[in-house]
Amino acid sequence: MRETTGVRTTKGRGRLYDSVLETIGDTPCIRINNLAPPHVRLYVKAEFFNPAASVKDRLAINLIESAERSGRLKPGQTVVEATSGNTGIGLAMVCAQKGYPLVVTMAESFSIERRRLMRLLGAKVVLTPRAEKGFGMYRKAAELAAQHGWFLAGQFESDANADIHEATTAREILRDFEGERLDWFVTGFGTGGTVTGVARVLRRERPETKIILSEPANAQLLASGRAQGRDANGVANESHPAFEPHPIQGWTPDFIPLVLQEAVDSGFYDELAPVSGAEGVAGAKALAAKEGILTGISGGSTFAVSLKIAETAPEGAVILCMLPDTGERYLSTPLFEDIPADMNEAEQEISRSTPGQQVAAG
């Protein structure tokens, strides 16, 4: 029998799953070894371990199942939602498994691979004009729901959003850091569900943990101090005046979602930290090249903020940074614009170092 001494082994999860939906959650917190200053411990919560590779898988399952429980979603009814991509991909996975038709509205400015992933999972994707920003795709989804009697998932207002992070994401963090320090929790926001749900728990059970909320440097809606216009139901009814287009896809639509408003009103964060798109790209590239962790511009942005905190944090401090999704969602974005498909000169030189199997330079 062949010896395997010293080889890594695995044991399986000790259970069988009835569907892909049962694999959502329980994502790992991973230590950063090469990029973090030596006097701190910096961890990332890697949400790309979810089955459709983003934190929005959690939201997607709860949007659908809470609506099923309440009777608002009927068997076979079409689901419609506005999304920058990750929620749509998560919903497409959930709807494929449960048998609901899905229509997604998405501004044409978001990455092409997101559209293709949703379509691969069986969804229909209706594009809205770039100039109308996130509020445009949001209004289109509401129009379609009203016109056709479809179920509007409503990620920006639904109680199901923050509730799932309170019930899962926050509980995972508490368990993983049980008996350990946790000095900072760093996240950005799209709908605001992550920060609101996690902060509900951390404020009660780990009040010593400082919560840092990041937003794009050129689109600081919260830091502007300007209130969001809303209708009588609290739904945003206008584009926020502080918004500017930014490259951190999935973050900061051009309005302050109602889900996020709870975090604002309740004081669920200790500091707002602006970050530029360039810093986010650099952070994602550093994580890939130095840690072997593939995340998108949003994850790179929270990581860039976390590194700044780490630099001045006291000895022994512990920081947890949210990584919302995978870098493969960003192939057509600035994250990959300088990553060539063809061999560069160094790679060609390696190829020429032996005589066989050479490909001509492109």
pLDDT tens profile 123-134: 999 999 988 888
Same domain, 282 and 186: yes
In a domain, 93, yes or no: yes
Instruction: Give 52's contacts (C-beta < 8 A, 6+ positions apart).
Output: 60, 89, 90, 92, 93, 121
Same domain, 90 and 117: yes
Q: Which residues pair with 81 in a beta bridge?
A: 104
Contact 182, 209 (CB under 8 A): yes
> What letter represents residue 347's amino acid?
E
Tell me the mean pLDDT in the region 132-145: 90
DSSP state letters, 164-188: HIIIIIHHHHHHHTTTS---EEEE-
Helix, strand and coil percent figures for the chain, each rounded to 5: 40, 15, 45
The pLDDT value given to residue 18? 97
The parent domain of residue 193 ranges over 20-50+170-330
In a domain, 305, yes or no: yes
Instruction: Identify the CA nearest to 183 among candidates 148, 216, 212.
Output: 212
pLDDT tens profile 258-316: 999 999 999 999 999 999 999 999 999 999 999 999 999 999 999 999 999 999 999 99
The pLDDT value given to residue 134? 81
- Terminal C-alpha separation, the chain: 48
In a domain, 103, yes or no: yes
Interatomic CA distance for residues 217 and 223, integer angstroms = 10
In a domain, 335, yes or no: no
66 is annotated as an active-site residue: no
Catalytic residue from among 56, 140, 239, 306: 56
The pLDDT value given to residue 2? 61
pLDDT tens profile 164-216: 999 999 999 999 999 999 999 999 999 999 999 999 999 999 999 999 999 99
Q: Please tell me whether residue 337 adopts helix, strand or coil conformation.
A: coil
In a domain, 348, yes or no: no
Same domain, 110 and 178: no
Structure confidence at residue 85 as a pLDDT band (50, 70, 90): confident
Asked if residue 237 has pLDDT above 70, the reply is yes
pTM confidence score: 0.94
Same domain, 197 and 122: no
The answer to which of 71-75, 83-87, 149-153 has the lowest mean pLDDT is: 83-87
The pLDDT mean for the chain works out to: 95
Can you read off the two tokens belonging to residue 348?
């060609």
Q: Which residues pair with 186 in a beta bridge?
A: 212, 321
Same domain, 201 and 324: yes
Asked if residue 1 has pLDDT above 60, the reply is no
In a domain, 4, yes or no: no
Same domain, 88 and 146: yes
Interatomic CA distance for residues 340 and 258, integer angstroms = 41
DSSP structural state of residue 341: S
Interatomic CA distance for residues 100 and 96, integer angstroms = 7
Instruction: Give 224's contacts (C-beta < 8 A, 6+ positions apart).
Output: 240, 241, 242
pLDDT tens profile 103-115: 999 988 888 999 9
Same domain, 265 and 185: yes
Asked if residue 96 has pLDDT above 80, the reply is yes
Same domain, 133 and 221: no
CA distances from 117 to 27, 91, 125, 200, 329 (A): 22, 11, 10, 33, 9
Instruction: Give 348's contacts (C-beta < 8 A, 6+ positions apart).
Output: 361
Same domain, 322 and 298: yes
124 is annotated as an active-site residue: no
Structure confidence at residue 3 as a pLDDT band (50, 70, 90): low
pLDDT tens profile 18-66: 999 999 999 999 999 999 999 999 999 999 999 999 999 999 999 999 9
Query: Can you tell me which residue has the tokens 């974005």?
Result: 333
> In terms of DSSP bridges, do strands 29-31 and 41-46 run parallel, antiparallel, or are they unpaired?
antiparallel
Same domain, 310 and 276: yes
> In terms of DSSP bridges, do strands 41-46 and 79-82 run parallel, antiparallel, or are they unpaired?
unpaired
In a domain, 162, yes or no: no
Q: Give me the helices (H) in the chain, please.
A: 56-70, 86-98, 112-120, 133-148, 159-164, 170-176, 193-205, 258-266, 277-286, 297-312, 345-352
Tell me the mean pLDDT in the region 219-224: 97
For residue 175, give the CATH number of its domain.
3.40.50.1100
Same domain, 308 and 279: yes
Tell me the mean pLDDT in the region 215-225: 97
Interatomic CA distance for residues 300 and 291, integer angstroms = 12
The pLDDT value given to residue 105? 96
DSSP structural state of residue 199: H
> What letter represents residue 49's amino acid?
F
Query: What per-residue string of b and e applies to 141-168 under the rule 16 or more CB within 10 Å gives b?
Result: beebbeeeebbbbbbbbbebbbbbbbeb
Instruction: Give 15's contacts (C-beta < 8 A, 6+ positions apart).
Output: none
In a domain, 35, yes or no: yes
The pLDDT value given to residue 5? 74
Q: Please tell me whether residue 151 adopts helix, strand or coil conformation.
A: strand
Q: How many domains, in total, are found in the chain?
A: 2
Catalytic residue from among 54, 214, 298, 301: 298
Same domain, 180 and 71: no
